Structure 1
Amino acid sequence: MQLVYVFDAYCGWSHEFSRTLREVASRHPELPVVVVSGGLFTGPRRMPIREFGHVPGANAKIAEQTGAEFGDAYERLIADGSFVMDSEAAARGVAALRQFAPDRAAELAMDLQQAFYVDGLSLSEPATYRKLAERAGLDADAVTAAFEAPETREAARADFRLGAELGVTGFPTLLAVDGDRVTPLAYGHATADAIDARLAAVRTS
């Protein structure tokens, strides 16, 4: 069995879920975590953040309800409404980081969201991945080159297809996958205890 985490780096609820995912992974080191990027802001939805007027209010609600951190640098980044959330670029970044440390994919995905929502770094900029690679002790030149490579663009699209094939319609979604059996463990907000209970049910059914 493995856990499949389908998220979007530009999804505030995915950012909030990072703490839960970290706790679940620490409780279950025997379960590999596969990270799959979603395509929340692609195609016609790839536009300035001002076009999504609900975002500031939604993030404030997430912070109020869960304690998730949205940093001052993030607030400055989106203040004038011109910032474009590009989920394909973010998915390329996930794929580039994942390529060099596949067993740390969940950790790196969480670092990626921290870079945006706390540090206010664009997930479309190569410099962001250089900084993340350096922090993670990875080859920064190789990660940055991979972010720009055509193969990584295809890897991002493959993630979008896989999420759809798994039946994921929103982010974040955590699945238990055992062969052909796919069981939802969490959709949106969930506690580690609730996920543990669902995992136990999966294992005994």
Structure 2
Amino acid sequence: MSSTKPLRLTYAFDAYCGWCYGFGPALHEFAAANADRIELRVLSGGLFTGPRALAVSAYPHIPGANERIAQLTGVTFGDGYRAALADGRAVMNSADAATGLVALGSQPGANALDAAAAMQRAWYVDGRSLSGVEVYRDIAAELGLNADVVATAYASPAARAEAAADFLKVRRLGVDGYPTLLLHTAHGTDRLGGPVSSADALTHALDQHLAAAGA
């Protein structure tokens, strides 16, 4: 493997995945620490699509899972999100969220990891649905992107088709849970870390893979 060629990684996540929200800070720290040697793409996995795209009240395990996520990762769930849980009517539609990520990522200079994090803050902190165009306008403004262009992209069939293609890519990679961080090698893909891995642990795992490949 050439030392000048960036290492390709794929982050498979879902905007409505609490464990992905918990994993986000460590992944951001890892990505920043290794920015000079990795190329990271973010793909939406489609956790809540089709018959699973239901109101949050249809998933009574979520509050308990959130407590465990907070304990193990240190993330905080906001008052707006807690209110949305208590209300129970917000529908988690991963196809809409994936389309939003595509729309945000279509802008020149957009950082997909930053966009994913902003989307998860909108839901897990503010309790905002990821199915409305206004949330993407606000995220675009937050990230310094053109809100009108993002809104137009979100409404386009092309963005929805790209989101569906991302779901297929994730399935073809054999991902069966989220979050999943994959390192692409000459021999296939290797998983790096898990939902509660620290940034240092992820970097150590990456170093181990490189050492093994160079042995």
Q: TM-score, normalised by structure 2?
A: 0.91
SS, match of residue 175 in structure 1 = strand
Do 1:47 and 1:85's aligned partners in 2 also have CA atoms closer than 8 Å? yes
Query: 1:79: how far off?
Result: 1.3
Do 2:180 and 2:191's aligned partners in 1 also have CA atoms closer than 8 Å? yes
Output the CA distance in 1 between the equivalents of 2:186 and 2:123: 34
Instruction: Name which one, 1 or 2, has greater alpha-carbon Rg.
Output: 2
Output the CA distance in 2 between the equivalents of 1:66 and 1:167: 25
Match of 1:72 in 2: 79
Query: 1:107: how far off?
Result: 1.2
Query: 1:183: how far off?
Result: 1.0
Q: Which amino acid aligns with 2:179?
A: P
Query: 1:180: how far off?
Result: 5.4
* Counterpart check, 1:141 vs 2:148: yes
Structure 2: 5+ residue stretches without partners: 1-6
1:165 to 143, 160, 172: 172
* Counterpart check, 1:57 vs 2:64: yes
* Counterpart check, 1:20 vs 2:31: no
> Structure 1 residues 100-109 or 78-87, which shifts more?
100-109
Do 1:171 and 1:187's aligned partners in 2 also have CA atoms closer than 8 Å? no
Output the CA distance in 1 between the equivalents of 2:180 and 2:22: 12
* Counterpart check, 1:6 vs 2:28: no
Size of the alignment, in residue pairs? 205
Q: Which amino acid aligns with 1:21?
A: L
C-alpha RMSD of matched pairs (Å): 1.3
Percent pairwise identity:
42
Match of 1:36 in 2: 43
Query: 1:187: how far off?
Result: 3.1
SS, match of residue 192 in structure 2 = strand
Output the CA distance in 2 between the equivalents of 1:149 and 1:102: 20
Do 1:170 and 1:187's aligned partners in 2 also have CA atoms closer than 8 Å? no
| Cα 1:56–1:138 shift into 2, 3 Å | same
Q: TM-score, normalised by structure 1?
A: 0.96
Output the CA distance in 1 between the equivalents of 2:120 and 2:50: 21
Structure 1: 5+ residue stretches without partners: none
Query: 1:186: how far off?
Result: 2.4
Output the CA distance in 2 between the equivalents of 1:103 and 1:141: 15
